Amino acid sequence: MLATHRSRLRVLSAATLVLALGGPGSLDAQTAARPAAFSIEDVMSSAFPTDLVMAPGGERIAWIANEEGRRNVYVAAAPGFQPRRLTSYMADDGIDMTALRWTGDGRRLLFLRGHTANMDDEIANPTSDIDGATRDLMMVSLEGGAPVRVTASVDAVPAPSGSRVIWTSGRDVWIVDFGTGTTVPAPSRLFTVRSNVSDLQWSPDGTRIAFISERDGRAILGVFDTRDRSLGWLTNSVDRDDLPRWSRDGTRIAFIRFVAGFPGYSVWTVDARTGAAKELWHSPREPDVESGYPRAIAGNYDIVWGDGFIVVPGEWSGFNHLYAIPENGGEARELTPGEGIVENAALSADGQWIWISANTQSIDHRQLGRVRLRDGHTEWIETGTANAWNPSPSPDGRWIAYIRSDHAEPATVYRRVLAEQRAQRVNALPANFPLAGMVKPEQIIYRTEDDWQIHAQLFTPPGLAPGQRAPAVIFMHGGSRRQMFPGWHNRGYYHNAYALNQYLASRGYVVLSINYRSGIGYGTKFRNPPNYGQRGASEYQDVLDAGRWLQRRPDVDPQRIGLWGGSYGGYLTAMGLARNSDIFKAGVDIHGVHDWWEQIRWYGRRDVEANTPAAQARRDLAIRSSPVADIATWTSPVLIVHGDDDRNVPFEASIDLVRRLRAKGDVHFEELYFVDDVHGFLRHANWLATFRAAADFFDRQLKGSAATSQR
């Protein structure tokens, strides 16, 4: 490090913290003497629930809870639905837990334990365990006992009834039947084909298995019959077939076809016995219409076969909505009209309704309701300023479980009987969670210099006296295919980010969280704006105009505005500091992209190596759209945070930035690195270390010797 930077090294658990000290003084004495209304530990103390699943009989629900880094399976049963922890993983060990599934008999739960592999086929090991890390399919019984390993990481597909479970491993399909015991019998190979198998789907009666076989640039649909161990191919074209779904009577299979040489996709059905196939419908093929299958939208649904209708997502209205196609052919009818997107969906057991989490009723939130397939009749159960997601309806249709939050209450499992007005909170908040201390963010809409309408959430610090000007911080989400809410988020990463925004507001900062162009929630054109990202960084205008908007506020000190964000938000933080240190006086850059061209190369794009004028033009534009292009004008201090097993943004991005800042010599920077942790930090301790460092950094860089100033 340059001589102008004094450094010290200390280890925080699995983290390595390197602080390049210096800059504008120490913490303001008033701020240091006055404790925050709550601590960062308090506001991040609530459990974050995921993978909420309904038991086949509807008598119980289960979910995964991340409690300050301790990930466990919980179950709640009728009539009282009191949570009961089934597993006992009691350390903040960074071992992920996902893909919760009930077996068909409702006696067991399956889950994956361990994170995914990186490009070198290494499983994430954020505690640097000397024995290494694994990712395994685990089973836990409701009858008690420790979880048992079933096999290595696979996508388990339980049969609709009974105790059988299948999965794929390359070309092979395996099966295990748990029977009535609590041990795991040895799995056996069910069948093998020449190429990779994916998307296993049991028939409703549990006798046949539909699957996709990917081969030689195409993908075809096959069916295996478990009764006579016969295998047949139902499609055989040059196209790519995907997402097979059985009809409710088990006689036909619907699937999506991506036709070679044509845009968009089509919906087909095939007779499961004869192989007679027909196209029911295809997406619009008009110019300037988004006709592709909307995989860019976050969510957990795809094609489903309901009672008389096949339901598919589509974006040709300009927003991602659901459409019902008659099962024997006809026009696709929009089920979810309005300006907004459908993010989660779940079909009712009788096939007559589809439950949705959407923002069509309030565009900056997530509402929960159900839509009747035959006529589009809609009934909402969560609207207004709440956020609700992960719908899990009971088989009898009388009640539903889901996850809910609002501006104050973090993500919480709820249960609601449809005939009643009130919902029942299933899991309790910890006693130290500062529910009463949460600021209610204000919806802000501002127009940019190039005439884009940007939605944002404004956190105003409590107790700000008239005439006082406070420091301000702008938060940019990652993705960029994300949307922040004026409440606790439905994704764990941004649930944590919302906690830091609340914490900063409690410490006297005006916080503005912006939904810049290229995010989701506001339509296709907003998500795909001209010249964004590597093609010109047009979305940076939204950040710049947010800074100017804050400068005009009477409660903001225009000389004390900072930036923070992770991933894409880290990229925009670095952009602000590089291009406009005159406005943005400090930033916290968490695993940000700093050179678009190197990011593209890291992802393995072969065309970037081409020595052609077109490739050179793309390279030049990508670099001009990156913070590294404007290092010369970067003067504001920055805190750089990164995990060195990042699978989304290479750690080399931070190495390169530090090298450039060292060479420049006049930028104060600080560093916080986590050994063996990934992009969305797996250890709760690393989130806490990041947020403590961020708050301390902003205090020193933006507050200086006075917490607020007088006009």
**β-pair partners for 152:** 136
Percent of the chain topping pLDDT 90: 83
Residue 588 token pair: 């916290």
3-state secondary structure of 108: strand
Least confident of 300-314, 367-381, 456-470, 513-527: 300-314
**Residues 357/359/362/363 CA torsion (nearest 10 deg):** 150
pLDDT in tens, 443-453: 999 999 999 99
For residue 20, pLDDT beyond 70: no
| C-alpha span between 473 and 238 (Å, rounded) | 53
From the list 26, 7, 25, the residue with the least C-alpha distance to 16 is 7
Sign of the alpha-carbon dihedral angle for 145, 146, 149, 154: positive
Amino acid at 557: D
User: What is the residue whose two structure tokens read 């609601």?
Assistant: 416
E-state strands within 170-239: 172-177, 188-192, 197-202, 208-215, 218-225, 230-233
| C-alpha span between 358 and 504 (Å, rounded) | 29
Mean per-residue pLDDT of the chain: 91
Helix residue ranges, H only, 317-398: none
Parallel, antiparallel or unpaired: strands 136-141 and 108-113: antiparallel
**CA angle 240-243-247, nearest 5°?**
125
pLDDT in tens, 599-628: 988 877 555 566 788 889 999 999 999 999
Give the pLDDT of residue 19.
33
347-370 mean pLDDT: 97
For residue 519, pLDDT beyond 50: yes
Give the pLDDT of residue 577.
98
pLDDT in tens, 69-115: 999 999 999 999 999 999 999 999 999 999 999 999 999 999 999 99
Amino acid at 538: S
Rg of the chain on CA atoms, in Å: 26
CB environment 464-499: b (16+ within 10 A), e (fewer): eeeebbbbbbbbbbbbbebbbbbbbbbbebbbbbbb
| C-alpha span between 84 and 394 (Å, rounded) | 19
Amino acid at 537: A
**β-pair partners for 6:** 21
For residue 404, pLDDT beyond 90: yes
**Does residue 470 contact residue 460 with C-beta atoms inside 8 Å?**
no
**CA angle 105-107-111, nearest 5°?**
105
The pTM of this model reads 0.93
| C-alpha span between 348 and 392 (Å, rounded) | 9
E-state strands within 206-286: 208-215, 218-225, 230-233, 240-246, 252-258, 266-271, 277-282
E-state strands within 572-659: 584-590, 638-643
For residue 355, pLDDT beyond 70: yes
579-593 mean pLDDT: 98
pLDDT in tens, 626-657: 999 999 999 999 999 999 999 999 999 999 99
From the list 67, 3, 9, 18, the residue with the least C-alpha distance to 693 is 18
Q: How far apart are the first and last CA of the chain?
A: 40
**CA angle 321-456-683, nearest 5°?**
85
| C-alpha span between 586 and 700 (Å, rounded) | 10
For residue 289, pLDDT beyond 70: no
E-state strands within 449-603: 453-459, 468-476, 510-515, 556-566, 584-590
**Does residue 514 contact residue 542 with C-beta atoms inside 8 Å?**
yes
User: What is the residue whose two structure tokens read 């589809």?
Assistant: 354
For residue 12, pLDDT beyond 80: no
List, as one string, the DSSP characters of 539-560.
THHHHHHHHHHHHT-TTEEEEE
Contact partners, residue 94, CB within 8 Å, separation at least 6: 14, 69, 115, 124, 125, 126, 127, 677, 681, 682, 683
| C-alpha span between 337 and 361 (Å, rounded) | 10
Beta carbons within 10 angstroms of residue 96's beta carbon: 21
Give the pLDDT of residue 195.
93
For residue 181, pLDDT beyond 80: no
Give the pLDDT of residue 603.
77
For residue 370, pLDDT beyond 60: yes
User: What is the residue whose two structure tokens read 């204000």?
Assistant: 442
Give the pLDDT of residue 405.
98
User: In residues, how long is the chain?
Assistant: 711
